[in-house]
Structure 1
């Protein structure tokens, strides 16, 4: 009797190289944005914000969102070069794995 089950590899769609590289670039940029926001975090810890325009629990809550957006904007504007390094490493690892 013949086994008609399909290999899981055949069921998984294979992305085109251009699509795969776009996804890698997006992932590398997101990593850089996260790294930048973490590096900016200590810069804001020592700031004293006082009334009437600052301070309180709400500011502490929203500060992380501000830092995340600052990291994303910095990465979109060219960043610090980390995304390029991460992208080239992902491409190198992909070539080695094939």
Structure 2
């Protein structure tokens, strides 16, 4: 067996593969925007100190607060976000077309 027989030829993506690639790119752009919003929200929730409050959640609140912030970020992104996903998606598609 020769080494050349192990190499498969490069095939151009079909129409269905192109649509799948665009869907993956869209999802990646939206996920990135949600992550960016999450990073912007984290400091806001870290400065909230209710340790002396009657409604202090203790260690459980500290463990679940990052998940709450993540869900808030995803909800914000799904409801319009900050417009970052559209720009990222266009840039990613342009980079894929160049390749």
Give ranges in structure 1 of 5+ residues lacking alignment: none
Partner secondary structure for residue 73 of structure 2: helix
Change (3 A) 1:58 1:80: same
Q: Which runs of 4+ in 1 moved over 3 A?
A: 1-4, 8-11
Q: Calculate the TM-score normalised by the size of structure 2.
A: 0.81
1:92 partner SS:
helix
Q: Structure 2 vs 1, CA of residues 61 and 95 (structure 1 numbering), >3 Å: closer, same or farther? A: same
SS at match of 1:63: helix
Q: What is the aligned partner in structure 2 of residue 79 from structure 1?
A: 81
Provide the aligned length of Structure 1 versus Structure 2. 96
Deviation at residue 48 of structure 1 after TM alignment: 1.7
List alignment gaps of at least 5 residues for structure 2: none
Q: CA RMSD in A?
A: 2.6
Cα distance, 1:45 vs structure 2: 1.4
Residue 7 of structure 1: aligned partner: 7
